[in-house]
Structure 1
Amino acid sequence: MANAKVSIIIPSFNTGKYISQCLDSVVNQTLKDIEIICIDNHSTDNTLNILKEYAKRDSRIKIISFNENNGAAASRNIGIENATGEYIGFVDSDDYIHLEMFEKLYDAAISKDLDMCMCKISTFEDGTGVLNDDIWYFALNCFNQLKKEVFNHHDTKEFMGEISVTVYNKIYRASMIRKNQIRFPMTPVFEDEVFFYDTYLHSQRVSVIPHNLYYYRTNREGSIVQQTADKDYSPVVEVFKTIRNIFIKTNNYEEYKCILCNIFIPMEIWRYGLSSKKYHESFFKDMKADCLELFEDKEILENLPIHIVDRVDNLINSSDWVEFDKKENFKDISVILTCYNDEKTIEKSILSVINQDLDFKKHVQCIIVDDGSEDKTKDICEKYIDLYPNNIVYIHQKHQGKSNAINLGTRYTKGKYYYYLDGNEEIKPQELLKLFNG
């Protein structure tokens, strides 16, 4: 199909339970002039058979089948190389999309001459199908502060780290990808981050359409993001180096170096805490060596945000991973408690976290983000900080809204799991123990 308007690339591996829902939403798009490139990673269930059945009924479907599981990055790259469309989009085989998704994205891209166009994402719970349209990161709320309808990376410099790097809620001008030879890196994790920054820096014209058009499945058994055993996030160090090189090659590094470090150094430390202990020794060495090299540039060191300075000090002043782990005092669960003028309820909210059936001192970190309270909320919170200095963090910011407060709180987390709580709510005593026990 040489004249397709959009090439839609769908990698798959053992998603037979979900792929029909995905394909139904793609083949029935209101934009008919599409090609659908399905790359199967040697599925051992009925995924490939389902793909073949759909291909018999729809000539727009092209199937590429691997003889081994090469991963999502390799699949997407093969898809890019085989795409003939004017624009390229991606859909994961366990998700589905709005029937007008690609028509809306394509129409916006053509009318505004865009290199990249984004839409909002809704999550839906596997099993129940419950939709959530307003998760801050997926809803692209960071763009609310932007006045321009068409923009590029220079316009979003101040909130670069808040933009969703997901590949599947965007379409990309195919000629831009080919001209700059942009591909997904062959890393086991974080390939979306690399692809996003490479395409974003090369896009001269970008826009967002204010519609939730992509439906992302959560809590699916067997999905990559849900596999928690034997976790190794150490490749994030190499990924950060790759992203820095992209900024260097595009002559943007000097402008963004402090911003990049403020995004990725906290991410590295957070991901270190999420990784299995058996990877900590090598992860620690790589992370410390990279930070020491970066800090030879004093401007980077001097511009670290206050919430990460102590943790960086712990890293560079620890002789080994055992000492660093002890200093970091990692927890199992981080409760992000947001509040605004909640003096009547905040104490009960805090106590509901402290008095959990799960041992608070041993397992729980409570991050209280005060979104500019003008009452006695701060005084009440500080009382509990004094009682639990190793468990409770208090942050006060100017009033910017709940979503911003939650995003700020995530930067301080030391837990493997998150729990979100409002200052006028309480947690049932057994709630965190349930989360801890999986």
Structure 2
Amino acid sequence: MPLLSVVLPVYRVQAYLRECLDSILEQTFTDVEVIAVDDCSPDHCGAILDEYAARDNRVKVVHLAENVGLGEARNAGMKHVTGEFVWFIDSDDWIAPGALAAVADRLITADPDVLVVDFAKVWWNNKSRRSKLSNLVRASELPRVWTLAEYPDMIKVFHVAWNKIFKRDFLVKNEITYPTGLYEDVPVGYPVLMVADRITVLERVCIYYRQRRRGAITSTPGRRHFEVFEQYDLLFQRLDKIGARAAPFRALVFGRMLYQCLLVLENRERVAMGDRREFFQALAQAYQRHVPSGGYEFPEGQEGSRQRLVARGSWARYRLTRLGLRVVNSVKFRKDKLQKKVRLRSRLRMRYYRQQLRRPIDQHLAVYSAYWGKGYACNPKAVYEKAAELAPGVRGVWEIKPGQEDSVPAGIETVTIGTAEHYKALARAKYLISNVNYPGWVVKRRGAVHLSTNHGTPVKAMGVDQLKFPAGLSGMNMNWLLKRCDRWTFNISPNAYTSEIWERAYPCDYETLEVGYPRNDELANATAADVRAARERLGLKPGQTAIAYLPTYRDYEFGSDALLNVERFADRMPPETVLLVRVHHFDRSHVAGTHPRVIDLGDYPTVEDIYLAADAMITDYSSVMFDYAVLDRPQAIYAADWNKYKANRGAYLDVFTEGPGVTARNESELVDLFISGEVFGETAAATRKVFRDRFCYLDDGRASERVVRRVFLNEAAQPLPGAGAVPVVHTEQLQEMRSVLDESQPRDLSTSEATTDDDTDISEEPSAVVGR
């Protein structure tokens, strides 16, 4: 029997679940079990829980057949608890390092009914604030164990479930369970303190309470917030049942009810504007139902004034009073913003844009953009072409930077960025599709649809995750970035791994389209003829072996020495080997020179041609490794600056243990991998298969169709390949694979063959075979 059981209700937290689980399972104290309750979560939470349970026998997963809510999920988990003590933790929060050891020590030495632990709120921008528990503890000078009757001021402890650890027998003896609905902590958080004979406090931060920017039910406006009154009705019923032991605290709890409900009322992320009058009236009625028979003393200051207006049931006076306070507090803010607005309106083209916004939306117009108008490419290109086929009634227009209009194929309509036609199109179009983000001044109109296609699978930290790595921020204003992302209606994800990251990195109210990347349809559907054509366009000759080198951008430095010396590398390769070099479009300081077997493709418009033409690829932390893996061709990871990159930029993926092929930290190792043939060996192929199963399972050549049907045709999402069985990869498995020596004999580069997918036409093309 473990000392501690952690009950973890799980629902729609795939972006945060791993951090929560890791924070528990990686503690030095290990005498713990985790009862994870999958509350019929519609995302990948269930698969993530099963993954952890498969590799750690301390994790037990309970899958519920239907969604029952947080309270009932806790009750369901409680049925499987075997530990002496129980800790109910929310699955989007996480435990502080060393917390379990400190908790265990206190549980063993104090043997409490209830252990109260301290916590800190942590916002999405990494700002944090410790709770007020420490003030209560210092003021009261509490002994080791105590009762609420001895220290009644402790009723002010936050009434939630996760800041308390209970003795299991105490919960069973007192028949303590959680109710259904929102605010389910209310009828439990107060009574447990009243009936406990032994309470103790651990005055250290043990849990971090995540303040999500979007997605939490408590920060989602809706009628469900009226459920708080039902929970307080239930609370007072339980106080009646407790009887004399609860009587001294009734007025204190009544005051907490008024305080909390007024906070809910004034929170725009909870009660909608149109419901506020009704919510206030419901609170006034709750006041009359539960006001203590011995009277209630209002607190001093503004809080007391607010509560008196509730007692009088005067919504008009309450609203007028609060409005006056908001006006006073907002005067300075308005003055600060006025000058900026005046300058904005003085721009003639922006005035024209605002005028166009007042005209009706063109229901049949879509504006496309790739890389801030740099051309006709990437995911938007694939969506555009499929929309022309499946939704021909929607007219597609591309925004293009001045001077680059000729880069768009003939017959495709364009508007030049900065022209009146451009502003008109952005203002009137129902659909805006981009693989980056439209400028901050672009307005998301009511009824408009914004599709973010993205343009890569993340290896490095993105969005709010970058706040932990300021070297890569480059002056980025995260607030403005997220406000632009707030316009997204849909956000494309290529796999479950990316969906988790996007939801955490860009915490906004969009629908995730986990359908695969549209741009990879071209690779999945490629034929031998497509490969020949791509090689001809790049000037490759029959018999030449093409190795692509596509490194990523280093935010913290230009022209990094960590990049491969392509000319020196080419000199060490057989004479029929050609290097196709394309550095990141943000960094043109490191380009190929005049070596006869090095082709600089930095300005080549179509990266898909490079993928198709290349017999093998070298990269580092670039998302190209995911795209190229669709072709199932050999890859080598060359990451000379891994430690520096990871520390400065942050990484989700360890390319040395989770990458798609062989790895090297210096040029000599990289050369040896090619000359020996290890890059083409069976171990490398097995590693690549694991990578493909994990990341490329949606690349079936139909991602564009799925996007168009959902976005333009408003069709419901259809079952996808691999859905319901998200591939799981254990780092230990990959490390073991990499440690196994290739049993095949080392082969010279000039005679080796690539391992290819038998189900594709590409393997039939002679030029697709490496080093023939």
TM-score, scaled to structure 2: 0.40
2:25 aligned to which of 27, 31, 37: 27
Contact 1:76 1:184 in 2 (8 A): yes
Deviation at 1:70, TM superposition (A): 1.8
Q: Which amino acid aligns with 1:26?
A: I
Q: 2:56 corresponds to which residue?
A: 58
Q: Sort the Cα spacing of 1:334 and 1:86 in 2 relative to 1 into closer, same or farther, 3 A.
A: farther
Question: RMSD across aligned C-alpha pairs, in angstroms?
Answer: 3.3
Aligned-pair CA distance for 1:181: 0.7
Give the C-alpha shift of residue 209 in structure 1. 1.7
Name the CA distance, whole Å, in 1 between partners of 2:292 and 2:188: 28
- 1:357 to 2:334 alignment: yes
Give the whole-Å Cα distance in 2 for the aligned partners of 1:55 and 1:197: 34
Q: Which residue of 2 aligns with 1:290?
A: 286
Structure 2 matches for 1:91-106, cutoff 5 A? 91-106=89-104
Q: Which whole-Å CA distance do the structure 2 matches of 1:145 and 1:238 have between them? A: 33
- 1:289-368 equivalences in 2 (<5 Å): 289-295=285-291, 297=293, 299-301=294-296, 303-307=297-301, 308-318=303-313, 321=315, 323=316, 326-330=319-323, 354-357=331-334
- Tell me which residue corresponds to 1:371: none
For 1:155, the equivalent position in structure 2 comes to 150
Please say if 1:136 is aligned against 2:113: no
User: Structure 2 residue aligned with 1:219, among 212, 228, 231?
Assistant: 212
Which has the bigger relative contact order, CA under 8 A and spacing at least 6? Answer: 1
Is the Cα contact below 8 Å between 2:120 and 2:131 reproduced in 1? no
Give 1 or 2 for the bigger CA radius of gyration: 2
Conserved? CA contact 1:166–1:196, under 8 Å: yes
Q: 1:178 to 1:331 in 2, by over 3 A?
A: farther
CA 1:142 to 1:73, structure 2 compared with 1: closer, same or farther past 3 Å? same
State yes or no: 1:257 paired with 2:255.
no
Q: Counterparts of 1:233-272 in structure 2 under 5 Å?
A: 233-250=225-242, 251-272=244-265
Deviation at 1:62, TM superposition (A): 1.1
Comparing 115-124 with 273-282, greater Cα deviation is found at: 273-282
Contact 2:298 2:308 in 1 (8 A): no
Equivalent-residue separation in structure 2 for 1:185 and 1:254 (angstroms):
22
3-state SS of paired residue (2:231): helix
Assess if the C-alpha contact under 8 Å between 2:68 and 2:180 holds in 1.
no
**Secondary structure of the corresponding residue to residue 315 of structure 1:** helix
* Structure 1 unmatched ranges of 5 or more: 336-349, 361-432
CA offsets 1:73-110 (integer angstroms, 9 cap, x no match): 11111111221110001222222213432232122122
SS at match of 1:235: helix
Counterpart in 2 of 1:383?
Answer: none
The answer (yes or no) to whether the contact 1:232–1:276 under 8 Å persists in 2 is no
1:197 is aligned to 2:195: no
2:77 maps to 79
Change (3 A) 1:123 1:268: closer
* 1:149 alignment partner AA: R
Q: Work out the CA distance in 2 between the residues paired with 1:60 and 1:180.
A: 28
Gapped runs of 5+ residues in structure 2?
338-479, 487-772
Using the alignment, how far apart are the partners of 2:19 and 2:178 within structure 1? Answer: 26
Instruction: Give 1:282 shift.
Output: 4.3
**Equivalence for 1:178:** 172
> What amino acid maps onto 2:149 in structure 1?
H
Which one of 104, 109, 112 corresponds to residue 110 of structure 2? 112
* 1:257 and 1:300 in contact (8 A); partners too: no
Q: Is the 8 A contact 1:73 1:191 kept in 2?
A: yes
Per-residue displacement from partner, 1:30-86 (whole Å, max 9, x unpaired)? 232222111112222221111111111111211111233222111111111221110
- Measured in 2, the distance between the counterparts of 1:435 and 1:292 equals 43
Q: Which moved more, 1:262-271 or 1:279-288?
A: 279-288
Deviation at 1:205, TM superposition (A): 1.2
Q: Which amino acid aligns with 1:202?
A: V
Give the distance between the partners of 2:37 and 2:161, measured in 1 at CA: 16
- Call closer, same or farther: CA 1:179–1:293 in 2, change over 3 Å: same
Q: How many residues align?
A: 338
Question: CA 1:156 to 1:296, structure 2 compared with 1: closer, same or farther past 3 Å?
Answer: closer
Residues 197-224 of structure 1 show CA distances to partners (whole Å, capped at 9, x for unaligned) of 1221222111112222212222343122
1:253-277 deviation digits (Å, cap 9, x = unpaired): 4312222222222333343333224
**Per the alignment, in what secondary structure is the counterpart of residue 209 of structure 2?**
strand
Once residues 294 and 169 of structure 1 are traced to their aligned partners in structure 2, the CA distance between those partners, rounded to angstroms, is: 27
Q: CA deviation at 1:114?
A: 0.9
Where 2:250 maps in the other structure, the secondary structure is helix
| Cα deviations by residue, 1:386-436 (Å, 9 ceiling, x for unpaired) | xxxxxxxxxxxxxxxxxxxxxxxxxxxxxxxxxxxxxxxxxxxxxxx9999
> CA offset at residue 192 of structure 1?
1.8
2:575 matched residue in structure 1: none
Deviations 1:332-362 (A, max 9, x none): 9699xxxxxxxxxxxxxx9xx64222799xx
1:124 paired with 2:116, answer no
CA distance in structure 1 between the aligned counterparts of 2:97 and 2:163, rounded to whole angstroms = 14
Secondary structure in 2 matching 1:37: strand
Inter-CA distance 254–100: structure 2 relative to 1 (3 Å threshold): same
Q: 1:313 to 1:23 in 2, by over 3 A?
A: closer
Contact map agreement 1:109 1:115 (CA 8 A) in 2: no
Change (3 A) 1:136 1:22: closer
Please state how far the C-alpha of 1:328 moved relative to its aligned partner.
4.4
What does 1:395-434 align with in structure 2 at a 5 Å threshold? none
**2:232 is paired with a residue of what secondary structure?**
helix
Shift of 1:327: 4.5
Per the alignment, do residues 176 and 291 of structure 1 end up closer, same or farther by CA in structure 2, a change over 3 Å counting? same
Cα distance in 2, alignment partners of residues 6 and 74 from structure 1: 20
1:209 aligns with 2:202: yes
TM-score normalised per structure 1: 0.68
- Verify the 8 A CA contact 1:234 1:279 in the aligned structure 2: no
- Percent identity between matched residues is 22
Structure 1 residues 14 and 254: CA distance shift in structure 2, 3 A:
closer
| Contact 2:155–2:190 under 8 Å retained in 1 | no
CA, structure 1 residues 212+80, in 2 after alignment: closer, same or farther (shift >3 Å)?
same
The range that moved more, 231-240 or 193-202, is 231-240
Q: Describe the shift of the 1:252–1:75 C-alpha distance in structure 2 as closer, same or farther (beyond 3 A).
A: same
What secondary structure is seen at the aligned counterpart in 2 of 1:82? coil
Aligned pair in 2 of structure 1 residues 42, 204: CA closer, same or farther (>3 Å)? same
Deviation at 1:195, TM superposition (A): 1.9
Cα separation, 2, equivalents of 1:283 and 1:145: 36
1:201 is paired with a residue of what secondary structure? helix
Distance 2:325 2:336 in 1: 11
Aligned counterparts of 2:163 and 2:33: Cα–Cα separation in 1: 17
Aligned to 1:36: 34
Change (3 A) 1:98 1:136: closer
